[in-house]
Amino acid sequence: MRERFVAVPSFGSRAEEIVGRSAVASTERLALAAEFGPLARFVASADVTDVFVNGGRDVWVDRGSGLVRAEVTALDAHETRDLAVRLVALGGRHVDEATPCVDVRLAGGVRVHVVLPPIAASGTVVSIRLPPERRLGLEDLAASGLFGGEASRVDRLMRAVGARTNLLVTGAGGSGKTTLLGALLAAAPPDERIVTIEDVAELRIDHPHVVGLQTRQANVEGAGDLSLGRLVRESLRMRPDRLVLGECRGSEVRELLAALNTGHDGGAGTLHANSLDDVPARLEALGALAGMSPTALARQAVSAIGLVLHVERAAGARRLSATGHLVLAADGRLAIRRGQW
């Protein structure tokens, strides 16, 4: 049976005009959906995880089992660019020829990434990430099969959180790193203060005391930017019980490792990596951006990170595929030892 949708004629349309067989999203998501114009019905659907607009040509949607081309009112190149500029402005940032690539967070944790031409050769590209309607805990992830159906694995992770082990969650884009990290942090004691640092706020943690910091891009004069590394340093003055870097992807690895090596136990972060065995090389590459030698990076990382969790996505399903511990190799460089899982 094919879905039935009512076209959304304008950005100001009421969300209630969006109908279909999919589960309806929260009130907050519905209120935001009208801002997406012809894409509103996807944003308002609780089972949609991603929406991609490719240069005013076609729209693709993922409902958790892989991408499919969507039937949607055509968006030409001009309309796609207008939509992109509007959404970025809604997130408090700007996108133009001087800043053609921008990432923003909207209400309810909806994340929008935009690339303008000529960087996007085929036309404006809009990538929309829609978080789960409910904040998932470890038990929810276990029920979804993330841990392979063994309750003992959840118990081990709970013990790691309780012991204030510094955690690094790794995996490819869309593999579930942020979802797993949020569930782990939700298991922290309620009397602890969690400070999160992200380029674009994406972590959604079911915990009573979470303080979020988000980077800021430079203004049109090229001034006023606040980087991840700067925010890590600022967070240390906020007395965090758990310091969390949403995604480590550059020279801020130096500040993170320094913080986790100076008494800030219970910290966490995520890292893009193809496999558990690739994690040492990825950390070395980031350390090089910060001017750290491989041996200096290795000594810092082994001391700072207590457990590495690698997640994968295959055929639409996410799973925790491996765990490991960072160790020093015979040549003094970083290596990883797989753990029992």
CATH code linked to domain 138-338: 3.40.50.300
Interval 279-329: pLDDT, tens: 999 999 999 999 999 999 999 999 999 999 999 987 767 899 999 999 999
Residues making up the chain, counted from first to last = 341
Q: What is the pLDDT of residue 6?
A: 32
Q: What percent of the chain is modeled with pLDDT above 70?
A: 90
How are beta strands 242-245 and 268-272 bridged, if at all?
parallel
Residue 235 in this model has a pLDDT that exceeds 70:
yes
Angle at 300 (CA atoms; ends 295, 238), nearest 5 degrees: 150
Tell me if residue 195 falls in helix, strand or coil. Answer: strand
Taking the alpha carbons of 224, 225, 228, 230 in that order, is the dihedral positive or negative? Answer: negative
Beta-carbon contacts of 175 under 8 Å, excluding residues fewer than 6 positions away, are 311, 312, 313, 318
Confidence of residue 135 (pLDDT cuts 50, 70, 90): confident
Greater pLDDT, 17 or 205 = 205
Q: Top-level CATH class of 15-129?
A: alpha beta
Task: Report the pLDDT value the prediction gives residue 317, as an integer from 0 to 100.
Answer: 79
User: Nearest to residue 214, comparing CAs of 333, 92, 330, 94?
Assistant: 92
pLDDT of 190: 95
Cα separations (Å) of 180 from 120, 132, 205, 225, 260? 31, 12, 10, 29, 20
Q: What is the mean pLDDT of residues 268-273?
A: 94
* Mean pLDDT calculated for residue range 228-255: 93
Local confidence band at 1 (pLDDT 50, 70, 90 cut-offs): very low
Q: Is the pLDDT of residue 156 over 80?
A: yes
How far is 269 from 242, CA to CA, in rounded Å?
11
Q: In terms of C-beta distances under 8 Å and separation of at least 24 residues, what long-range contacts does 73-76 make, across chains too?
A: 73/7, 73/38, 75/38
Mean pLDDT, residues 120-142 taken together? 88
What pLDDT, on a 0 to 100 scale, did the predictor assign at position 74? Answer: 67
Q: What is the mean pLDDT of residues 139-166?
A: 88
| Every domain of the chain and the residues it spans | 15-129, 138-338
Mean pLDDT confidence for 114-130: 94
Confidence of residue 20 (pLDDT cuts 50, 70, 90): very low
User: Do the domains 15-129 and 138-338 sit in the same CATH topology, yes or no?
Assistant: no
pLDDT tens-place string over residues 42-101: 998 888 989 999 987 889 999 877 889 998 876 788 999 999 999 999 988 889 988 899
pLDDT tens profile 214-224: 888 777 677 77
Give the strand pairing for 268-272 and 307-314. Answer: unpaired
pLDDT at 9 over 60: no
Measured between alpha carbons, how far is 21 from 218 in angstroms, rounded to an integer? 43
Residue 114 has pLDDT above 90, yes or no: yes
Whole-number Å distance between alpha carbons of 97 and 109: 26
Q: Give the pLDDT confidence of 165-215 residue by residue, as tens digits.
A: 999 999 998 888 999 999 999 999 999 999 999 987 888 899 999 999 988
Residue 57: its pLDDT value, please? 83
Q: Report the amino acid identity of residue 311.
A: V
Per the listing, tokens 């996410």 go with 318
pTM of the model: 0.77
| Model pLDDT, residue 272 | 94
What's the confidence (pLDDT) of residue 56? 77
pLDDT for position 59: 92
Phi-psi region of 80 (alpha: psi -120 to 50; beta: other; left: phi over 0): alpha
Strands 307-314 and 167-171: parallel
More confident residue, 104 or 109: 104
pLDDT beyond 50 at 21: no
